[in-house]
Amino acid sequence: MNTRPPASRPPGNRPPGNRPPGGGSRPPYRPPFKPNFPPRPPRSAERRFEKERDPNEPNINHYIKAEKIRLIDAAGEMVGIVSANEGRRMAEEAGLDLVEISPNAEPPVCKILDYGKYKYQQQKKQQEAKKKQKVIEIKEIKLRPGIDKHDLEIKMRHVMEFLKEGDKVKFTLRFRGREMAHQEIGMKLLVSIKEQLKDLVKIDQEPSSEGRQMVMMVSPAK
């Protein structure tokens, strides 16, 4: 085991990098410059809440800005025009919330109710309405001028299913090579389909030529 003490540097024998320039004494220590900006004022609790709130939610309790409101009590009875403070007091006595249900009225209409229950009911209504909404899709049926009778019957069964579901149907009949010289065959096919569906559909686009294809669009008759 090596017990030799580390070699000591003789006094005054500092490394060149630690020597002050010119051989003089070190300059006095200067702390880094820190600009003296005024302190930022604290954000109010109301501003913080407004940033976190959903803008689609109604104003409730002390977030109602109007001084006068048209009040409906918890039983659904019209109280009349009162101050917002009076409405908040009545809601607090009932253990409920004061909710602004018609902010654009003059004065705004507010109701005393359980906001948690009210919000749940509103979300449930939106979900029910969303379920009832049908997204209309456009289903494409591709045809050829020389399609045989059996294949056409299969495609027409698909068309009936699409129409029953409320979707639009786009018929696309494509020509290849020399078939372009006999476009009347394709027009005759689309016209026959149109006649077959005339009592079930509304014609959104009559049979027409688009380059090397013919197109017809139909939607369910209402």
- pLDDT tens-place values along the chain, 222 residues long: 556 655 555 555 555 555 555 555 666 777 777 777 666 665 544 444 445 666 778 888 988 999 999 999 988 899 999 999 999 999 999 999 999 999 988 999 999 999 989 888 888 888 888 777 767 788 999 999 888 889 999 999 999 999 998 899 999 999 888 888 888 888 999 999 999 998 889 999 998 888 889 999 999 987
Distances (CA, A) of 211 to 140, 190, 208, 214: 17, 16, 10, 8
Evaluate if pTM is beyond 0.95. Answer: no
170 close to 219: Cβ distance less than 8 angstroms: no
User: Is 187 in a helix, a strand, or coil?
Assistant: helix
Pair 204, 190: CB distance under 8 Å: no
Residue showing tokens 């003059």: 106
CB atoms within 10 A of CB 27: 8
Distances (CA, A) of 99 to 80, 148, 192: 15, 66, 61
Q: Which two tokens stand for residue 118?
A: 């009210």
Instruction: Reduce the DSSP state of residue 80 to 3 states and report it.
Output: strand
Three-class DSSP category at 118: helix
Phi, psi at 113, each rounded to 5°: -160, 175
Three-state SS at 70: strand
Structure tokens at 104: 């654009």
Pairing verdict, β 109-113 and 168-174: unpaired
Q: How far apart are CA 137 and CA 165, in angstroms?
A: 10
